[in-house]
Structure 1
Amino acid sequence: MDIITGFFGLVEDLTWGWALIPMLVVFGVFITVMSGFVQIRFFKRMFRVLFSKNQTGDPNAISAREALLVSVGGRVGGGNIAGVAVAITLGGPGAVFWMWAIAIIGMATSLVESTLAQLYKRSNGDGTYQGGPAGYIIYGLGAKHKWLAVVYAVCLMLAFAFGFNAFQGNTFAGAVYDSLGVDRVWSGIGLAIITGLIVYGGIRRIAKVADVIIPVMAFIYIGLALLVILSNITALPGVIWSIIANAFGLEEVVGGGFGAALAQGLRRGLFSNEAGLGSTPNVAATADVRHPISQGITQSFSVFIDTIVICTCTAFIILLSPVYQPGVEGIDGIVLTQQSLVSQVGTWSQYFLTFAILLFAFSSIIYNYYLGETALKVMTSRPGALHVLRFAIVIVVFLGATAPGATAVFFFSDPLMGVLAVVNLSVILMLFPVALRILDDFRSQLKAGVERPVFEPTAFPDLDLDHSAWPHAQGVAGSTRVDFAKA
């Protein structure tokens, strides 16, 4: 066992330890510059997705908004509550600034990876689509790279579907026990049953559930944060100055100063928004849109919601409260956020925060399951395998909820997520010229006066595309299901 843990420890050191974060930052800056600051130029268009419907009218199709909310549900989790608190505790207020910075850069990275997922998506023949990094590896780089897609799929399933779902089950049950006193067994059983009902409905049911619970989750949490901000409005300028000053070492509130703020802000920001890690493109590929760039813009907006909105809410709740003491460590992240909120608006708020944590954890579970389902389709096309996966996810969620120590078994999750990121970044770097061609097509249509650009796959005959996945294009008819496992 020591050999295994040592191996995964080495993998984590080689990825998250020193190489991956600079890679994500440098590549994000490169994409931002080479794309002409695409996340800034298309920022206004991002808000259109909030009012979008599925484009074909097919009741089975997933709209851009539904895909957005599923991905937001996955990005937004414990890291937005506990992770931000830890970043501030270890890195000071300046960590918040660097979280903002990496989010703005990550918006461009997310746009490119999600655009590629849309571009190379395949139709399932029933109005739904599938794709993601495995898809753009196989169809973008060629079938000879199928082994790389399988490596990616295995890491995706183990890290998200099993490892992170055990942790989310633990978070869910812990929050219920701490706030309401409900035994972990009962909350574990309830969570397992609800999870089973949703995952057996597939992506359509997942999307419908996300379309309901994610807005509720976001509005409740943002509402509480606004209440705190408004009640401390005179102190807000001082907090903002503290964030900026600490970020550049003009004032030092924790050991390490500028270095601590930078390291904690980048690390926690990347863990939270997942831009470049190759997870959210799997969901981005399911959307029914007119052009690949449209969903790229949408997923860029997802990063904005996760970090610039939700993480900032947590930061202001903490920094505006008397509970936070600069330089004092040892306070659990969730506890710090909870105590900060209670000190501002009263004890009743801890129950609202518990409810938000429950929704965060649950939305992440169904998102993580879908990533596992996508990964499975790359490895095998046997129908029975999907039922095995669904049953296994329900069991893992239950065990994670009822036996907190069981989550230690999934120590490999973070290292494997690091492998995912390295694979994904390498692939999108190779396919970046293709993404720029698609971006140029989108921009040229806008310049020609087309309000809603339409992607024509026939205009790119050199690319291995599924023409039936673009029903809005002229001359596209019919639908042929493509099996990733046999590609």
Structure 2
Amino acid sequence: MEFLEAFFGVIGDLTWGWALIPFLVVIGVFFTVVSGFVQLQYFGRMFRVLSSKNQSGDPNAISARAALLLSVGGRVGGGNIAGVAVAISLGGPGAIFWMWAIALVGMATSLIECSLAQLFKRSEGDGTYRGGPARSIIHGLGADYRWLAIIYSVCLIASFAFGFNAFQGNTVAGAAEESLGISRIWTGILLTGVTGLIVFGGIQRIAKVADVIVPIMAVGYIAMSLVVIALNITEVPGLIYSIVTNAFGFEEVVGGGMGAALAQGLRRGLFSNEAGLGSAPNVAATADVRHPISQGITQSFSVFIDTMIICTCTAFIILLSDVYQPGAEGVDGIVLTQQSLASHLGGWTSYFLTGAILLFAFSSIIYNYYLGENALTFMTSSPLALQGLRIAVMALVFIGATAPSATSVFFFSDPMMGILAVVNLLALMMLFPTAKRILNDFRAQIKAGVDRPVLNPDQFPDLDLDRTAWTGKIRENG
């Protein structure tokens, strides 16, 4: 076991500890500049996905909005509550500025990776689709790169479906025990049972559940944050000034100054919004839309919601309170956020925050499961293997909830996600010319007065596209 821990520790150091974060930043800036700041150009179009006009007419199909909410449910989690608190404690208020910056360039990365996943998606024949980086690699780069797609798929299952779901089970049970006094065993049983009901229902049921719980958790948390901001509105201009000046080292409230703010902001921002990590494209590919870029724009909006809205809400709750102590060692992010919220609105808010954590963690569990399912179906079509994955995920959620120390065996999760991200970024760089072609096609249609562009596969005969997924006909959704 010590050898394995050391081995995966080296992998973690070579990815997250050394090269991956700069790599993600550089690629995000590159995509932003070369695409002509596409995430800003089409920012207004992002909000269209919230309209009922953009929902699919096929009852089996996954709408653009459902795919958006499922990906938001996955991106939004403990990192938005605990992770932001840790970033502020270690990096000062300036860390928030760099979280905003990485979200801005991450919106372009997410748009590119999710558009490619849409482009190379495959129809399941029942109105649903599957896609993601593994399928983008095999259909975009060719069969010679199947080994790369297999590495990606194995890492996705190991990190998200197994490791992170055990951690999420632990988070839910811990929060319920701490705030409500509910035994871990009962939380584990309930959480495992509900997880089973959802994952055995397939992507349609997963999407329907996300369509309900994600708006509830997001709107509720944002509303609570707006109350806090309203109560402290006179302090907000000074707070924003403090965030900017700390970001550039003009004021220092923690050791390390600008360097600490930059490092913490970038790291927490990337972990939170997942842009470039190769996870969200698996969900983006399920949507039934007219043009791949349309869903890319939608998924770019997901990054905006995660970081620019929800992470900012947490930051303002903490920084407007009198609880925050710069440079505090060994800070518990959940506790800091709970105490900060209580200082504004009273002790009852700890129960509200516990509820938010439960919903955030549960939405992440069903999202993580689907990522694992999608990766498994790429490697094998065996129904038995799929049932085995579902049972394994339920077991790991239960173990994580009832035996918190057991999650220590999943030390490989972060290193595996590091490999996952490296594979995804390499594929994105190789496939970027293809992404640029479909982006140019989208722009040309917009320029010609087409309000809702449609992909015509006949214009891309050299690409390995599924023509049953892209008919070139105008549908009522997208």
For the criterion TM > 0.5, the same-fold answer is: yes
Describe the shift of the 1:37–1:342 C-alpha distance in structure 2 as closer, same or farther (beyond 3 A): same
How far off is 1:329 after superposition?
2.5
Partner of 2:380: 380
| Distance in 2 between residues matched to 1:25 and 1:300, nearest whole Å | 16
Partner of 1:407: 407
| Correspondence 1:195-214 to 2 at 5 A | 195-214=195-214
Partner of 2:417: 417
One-letter code aligned to 2:464: D
| Distance in 1 between residues matched to 2:173 and 2:54, nearest whole Å | 35
| Distance in 2 between residues matched to 1:112 and 1:23, nearest whole Å | 16
One-letter code aligned to 1:86: V
Partner of 2:227: 227
How far off is 1:52 after superposition?
4.2
| Distance in 1 between residues matched to 2:224 and 2:356, nearest whole Å | 11
Partner of 2:25: 25
| Distance in 2 between residues matched to 1:114 and 1:105, nearest whole Å | 14
What secondary structure is seen at the aligned counterpart in 1 of 2:468? helix
Partner of 2:134: 134
Partner of 2:125: 125
- State whether residues 456 and 471 of structure 2, in contact with CA within 8 Å, keep that contact through their aligned partners in structure 1: no
| Distance in 2 between residues matched to 1:129 and 1:371, nearest whole Å | 13
What secondary structure is seen at the aligned counterpart in 2 of 1:275? coil
Describe the shift of the 1:9–1:70 C-alpha distance in structure 2 as closer, same or farther (beyond 3 A): same
How far off is 1:411 after superposition?
0.4
TM-score by length of 1: 0.96
Partner of 2:267: 267
| Distance in 1 between residues matched to 2:376 and 2:149, nearest whole Å | 11
Q: Deviation string for 1:263-319 (max 9, x for gaps)?
A: 000000000000000000000000000000000000000000000000000000000
- State whether residues 55 and 65 of structure 2, in contact with CA within 8 Å, keep that contact through their aligned partners in structure 1: no
Partner of 1:150: 150
How far off is 1:349 after superposition?
1.0
- State whether residues 291 and 454 of structure 1, in contact with CA within 8 Å, keep that contact through their aligned partners in structure 2: yes
Q: Deviation string for 1:414-448 (max 9, x for gaps)?
A: 00000011000000100000000000000000010
Q: Deviation string for 1:34-62 (max 9, x for gaps)?
A: 00000000000000001145665110000
How far off is 1:472 after superposition?
4.9
- State whether residues 184 and 401 of structure 1, in contact with CA within 8 Å, keep that contact through their aligned partners in structure 2: yes
How far off is 1:471 after superposition?
4.0
| Distance in 1 between residues matched to 2:193 and 2:422, nearest whole Å | 35
- State whether residues 107 and 301 of structure 1, in contact with CA within 8 Å, keep that contact through their aligned partners in structure 2: yes
Partner of 1:444: 444
Partner of 1:311: 311
One-letter code aligned to 2:287: A
One-letter code aligned to 1:284: A
| Distance in 1 between residues matched to 2:377 and 2:52, nearest whole Å | 29
Partner of 1:35: 35
What secondary structure is seen at the aligned counterpart in 2 of 1:455? coil
How far off is 1:379 after superposition?
1.5
| Distance in 2 between residues matched to 1:66 and 1:213, nearest whole Å | 11
How far off is 1:181 after superposition?
0.2
| Correspondence 1:47-446 to 2 at 5 A | 47-52=47-52, 57-446=57-446
One-letter code aligned to 1:324: Y
Describe the shift of the 1:53–1:285 C-alpha distance in structure 2 as closer, same or farther (beyond 3 A): farther
Q: Deviation string for 1:110-160 (max 9, x for gaps)?
A: 000000000000000000000000011000000111111111000000000
| Distance in 1 between residues matched to 2:143 and 2:313, nearest whole Å | 45
How far off is 1:330 after superposition?
2.6
| Distance in 2 between residues matched to 1:311 and 1:329, nearest whole Å | 21
| Correspondence 1:452-471 to 2 at 5 A | 452-471=452-471
| Distance in 2 between residues matched to 1:447 and 1:163, nearest whole Å | 46
TM-score by length of 2: 0.98
Structure 1, 52-61 or 385-394: larger mean CA deviation: 52-61
One-letter code aligned to 2:25: V
- State whether residues 81 and 333 of structure 1, in contact with CA within 8 Å, keep that contact through their aligned partners in structure 2: yes
Q: Deviation string for 1:188-231 (max 9, x for gaps)?
A: 00000000000000110000000000000001100111011000
Q: Deviation string for 1:322-348 (max 9, x for gaps)?
A: 000222233300000000000001111
Partner of 1:6: 6
One-letter code aligned to 2:170: N
Structure 1, 233-242 or 54-63: larger mean CA deviation: 54-63
| Distance in 2 between residues matched to 1:297 and 1:241, nearest whole Å | 31
Q: Deviation string for 1:64-112 (max 9, x for gaps)?
A: 0000000000000000000000000000000000000000000000000
Describe the shift of the 1:34–1:340 C-alpha distance in structure 2 as closer, same or farther (beyond 3 A): same
Give percent identity, aligned residues only. 74
RMSD, matched Cα: 1.0
- State whether residues 21 and 267 of structure 1, in contact with CA within 8 Å, keep that contact through their aligned partners in structure 2: yes
- State whether residues 72 and 214 of structure 2, in contact with CA within 8 Å, keep that contact through their aligned partners in structure 1: yes
| Distance in 1 between residues matched to 2:46 and 2:344, nearest whole Å | 33
- State whether residues 140 and 464 of structure 1, in contact with CA within 8 Å, keep that contact through their aligned partners in structure 2: yes
How far off is 1:473 after superposition?
2.6
- State whether residues 457 and 471 of structure 2, in contact with CA within 8 Å, keep that contact through their aligned partners in structure 1: no
- State whether residues 52 and 64 of structure 1, in contact with CA within 8 Å, keep that contact through their aligned partners in structure 2: no
- State whether residues 116 and 292 of structure 1, in contact with CA within 8 Å, keep that contact through their aligned partners in structure 2: yes
Partner of 1:480: none
| Distance in 2 between residues matched to 1:354 and 1:463, nearest whole Å | 48
What secondary structure is seen at the aligned counterpart in 2 of 1:468? coil
One-letter code aligned to 2:92: G
Structure 1 runs of 4+ aligned residues shifted over 4 Å read: 52-56
- State whether residues 318 and 337 of structure 1, in contact with CA within 8 Å, keep that contact through their aligned partners in structure 2: yes
